[in-house]
A and B are shown apart, each in its own frame.
Chain A
Amino acid sequence: MELWIGALNLGFLYALMAMGIYITFRIHDFADITVDGSFTSGASVAAIIIVSGGHPAIALLGAFGAGLLAGTVTALIHTKLNINSLLAGILVMTGLYSINLHIMGRSNIPLLSEVTVFTQIARFNPGLPQEIWYTLVLTGCIIIGWWLVSLFFKTDLGIAMRVTGNNSTMAGAVGQNIKYLTLLGVALANGLVALSGSLVAQYQGFADIGMGIGTVVIGLASVIIGESIIKSRSVYWRFLSVIIGSVIFRFMIAFALYIGMNPIDLKLLTAIFVLLTLIVSKMIANKPVNRESSRKILGNLRKALLNRWSAAILIIVILVAGSFLKFNPGKSPSDIKIGLVQFTDNGLLNVTRDSFLEEIHKIGYIDKKNCRIYIENAQGEIPILNTIIDKFLRDDVNLILTISTSATQAAINKVKDRPVIFATVANPFIIGAGTSDSVHIANVTGVYGGVPMDRMLEMVNRFFPDRLRIGCIWDPSQANVVFNVDNLRRELRNYEHYQFEGANAVNSSEVYQAALSLVNKNIGAFVLPPDNIIYSAFDAVVRVADSRNIPIFISDVERLEDGALLALGYDYTSSGIQAAHIVDRVLKGTSPAQIPFEKYTKLTIGVNLNVARKIGIKVPQDVLKKATMMIGDNPTNGIATKRLALFQFSDHSMMEECARGVLDELTASGILKKNNIIVERKNAQNEFTLGQSIAQDIVRRKYDYIITLSTPALQIMAQVNKQIPHVFGAVTDPYRMGVARSPAEHLPQLTGVATMQPVEEGFKVMRKLLPHAKKVGMVWNPSEACSEACTMKAREAAREYGFELVEANVTSTSEVMDALNSVLDRGVDIFFTSGDNTVLIAIESIGEVLKKHKIPYFGNTPSDIYRGGLISVGADYYNVGREVARVMEKIIAGAEPKDIPIQDCVPVQIGVNLVLAQEIGLKLPESFLKRVAVIKRS
């Protein structure tokens, strides 16, 4: 129920803004974008007045005044300077962003424990539930507001304003001063918008610099929805329709959350709903209306109105009834329910959430088994935060876990009767959650911590014990970030030999400029607090820093690889873990009032030695000792750590065997230890795009050596790598790949081992075991290069050993069985498959059919005999791997790939399925069996 009541209240509060938009857009035909700024101005002015102890009524007056002022400026720019109205609005809105920040002094002012309009209203509550009392009072206020505004537009002045917007030629002709009236209208409208903003801020418990974004869209949507529902031209009806439109808009959002829609889709839903409303209203309008007399017109108008009204009321009734009926079945009342909400999708918040979920699972709360965990994301929008919390309350959760400061702020304002646990909050005290760790709001507790700037500066000082100018970039509209930067500056007072230079960036495109400006001021190092905007544009900072060899110190350890020198920060996974334990305690009965706030404990210090080497900085020994993670070479060893990428295309046994051979040889020779080389295995899981990403990553991260296994891996790697020494293996025919023309003529950065299928050997064995056989059947896919090569060889070998080859082609696996039957129809004695992927997928089915016909099945791959093949004459990939490793060893010792010719390496390995041989009655001579390496006996 709270969900809908909350929506209704928000609808009324925003209705004032919608009326303002109606005045500018419809009455004055003035496209006014100022509202995104004036809405926030109203909120900021009211917040400042309230926080300084002013009476809430004065706050409302002040807000209205701020809006009047903003609107006046926009109108003056338009009328006096003849600048297009749209542009004038944008200019003022942009300027207001800075002005609002100055008014508030920071990006967010909490109003939780202040005397607001709503606390005053609450005092008169005769005993009803709080939200319902608000609704009643707000209904009364909105009716008064509606009546006043409509009445105004019925006065002489109001009519004059309406005429000005509707027909400016006539307005001038009847003596109206158009410029003056437009100014009046735009000012009044923005006054209403600012008033709306001030009320919304007091309702939700805080004023925030970002709360105005998107206001003009919400207002227009409300106006459009209202106009489609009520078509009357009367001034009273028009303003009423706007109010109704605003309420319906809020209901839509509540509905979307109620049915569990992802908040991401809300904007799409808004657009669709507005479109539907317009379509339906057009359909109704097209019904023929009898125009014979004016009275009949009025009558029909009333009928049409009634239709639309009844439709709207019906929808609202269904929604409200639905909320009472509670659609969701199967919810047992004893289930524990946890509501988890994060403000945006940023990495740190996600890390907290994931580690929380993992830990809570470990503790024993299994989602959907003994509890329900609702996970929501507000996508960075504060009104959505409020609606999510309403939803949690409606779902009757046992406690709410909030991740990030904004989410926590919204929750502690709304939720008084159940626990609120917070995680990943920089400073809970500035949002009013408490005065100290143990003295705090009774139902709130959690895990917090800013970046330990004192430790950070300690680290910096170890690198730079002398004078240093530190550069810092941050987004001033994020309270968390400002808090961390303030801490940094405060700690800097202890370092008299350090200077501070700061630069702001409000979106990612400004980061590059900010970094450049700092570098031009000759900073010696960057020290960056955790900030979404900076991190999303981190590459820009790295670029700038690299060009002057300036080190970067950051607090987000995940960014270490991307070019920072040192990362020092709290481990956000521990935030989630600690929060999970608090949640457990609370659910088991401890009251949050008894649990003091916890600070993060685990500190992570990461050092990127590659960066240190690149910019020529020596990392002090004690820093290395303290580091909990390191990337890159260890300079104390004397020899740099090298990395070898062992890249295979899939899990196929052929590649696994080969890899095993490579690793065994490399380890046995001792070359890895001697040269301080670590091997990293990469697997493309048989997916081309994944393979491409891996190859690009290998090149980007500048691995020292590369070994690829299988033809696709070779191809992908050769395309992106031109420098790193590359040895390939498990490739049938490198010459067809375009990497080489002959063993000696090949691409200079690579060399390797070619393993042609031992087709000839296979036919030799065939002839030996079956001296009387005449025809050999073969099914293959001509579009597979390897398969084609094998077939060529097969034809030669067949001739040599006196066989007739019977072939059939397929293009996909589904055709294989038919092709097989056609081959069998032509009477073959032996069946042969090369390493053809298309056919091999169906190998079991082929084996079944051949077994029935008692035809020996010869294959190319050792593993075939386990899947239906009788005899396999193939290459021993383990030994191929060892050969590949031997080639790589030469390169590590100093040889260059261009000097090493491609080798052929075909260690033949024969496998036999004895069980199958018995079943089809094939006798195998002892001499043959001696040569067999792999036997299936049971």
Chain B
Amino acid sequence: MMRVDNFSVAFSGLAIVLSALIFVLSADFYHNEEKHISDYLAILVFTLCGAMIMFSFSNMAMLFLGIEILSISLYIMAGSKQHDVRSNEAGFKYFLMGSFASGFLLFGIALIYGATNSFHIGNIAAYVSAGQISPMFYVGMLMMLVAMLFKVAVVPFHFWSPDVYEGSPALVTAFMSTLVKIAAFGAFYRLFYLCFFDSLNYIVIILGVVTAATIILGNLVALSQTNFKRLLAYSGISHAGYLMLAVMSMKTGTASAIFYYASGYGIATIGSFAVAILVFKAMKSENIEAFNGLGKKNPFLAAALTMSMLSLAGIPPFAGFLGKYYIFSEAIKNGLFGLTITAIITSIIGVYYYFKVILAMYTKEADETSVQSNIAYTTIIIVCVSVSLLLGLFPDKLMNIF
């Protein structure tokens, strides 16, 4: 049912670390309004459980179970601010869209079972490499692909993510854009690497179009965002595009590149959300204007957010840079020149919107409201920034896991 290998251990480890960071942040986040904070924390652990099943499944049924455990917990988390209409809306929207995707996934699994007589990924892989593939199998594979693309939120299945990210409580957004995205990518990669590897040639064009569309659209639309959470949602979409590039280069074994990129992305995103949550709370606004003058008001927070943004934008010496480097390098090794050049051009666009936040912090006038940090948040912020610096300087430890 499950197979523990380097891949699953590494990704589970990352998931645990990210959840732990979120845990520390959450104590304070729900402090004021929730009576049953324990419920919330329990659901968070359920999500983690789902993610870990997704990293180590060796059976289609387990994949489905993992995704469902993760998703259903998330539907609840997205709606966890009961008295906030937007949060309810986000939860409901996510639920409706997500159930469709789950339906696709289940249907796909059923068709593949029909073609191969097995749920086990080893058997399915053997069936694929044997060469006599029935049409039913392709339909099943495409349906699974659609479901997975939905879960990782790439174009054209990305529509839910900005709305859900914006509506959900900021901390849940942080959780969704890091752990959940990484879990979905882990499962995606594992499914296609272990199971559909030999049939990759049939869908490479689809993947190519999806990847190009994702990195272009994600970056371009992010330019015009004024809400910080939506900005990060679109930036998350474009990062998903870069990760797709690594999935497409699967032939040379890009698990380590994905893992490194995901770690750098996850850590930097949690770091920026930690700062953002403090700012949102103090300023009572989630727009980029809320960050105006943060450089004067609280230099520490501003510096930390700047470094996280630089890492997301892929500027050395932060982890985001080497992550991009690894992915581009693998893509070139696989001959994906056009996509790599697209990715490089769009990452320049990416710099522009990350710098919008930095510019707001350092060049706009501040108002009177002060922004204070507390011990938990300060610790998490320091941890995130130093980890993304250390990862950037000493990547060997992570890269040699696989």
Q: Is B truly associated with A?
A: no
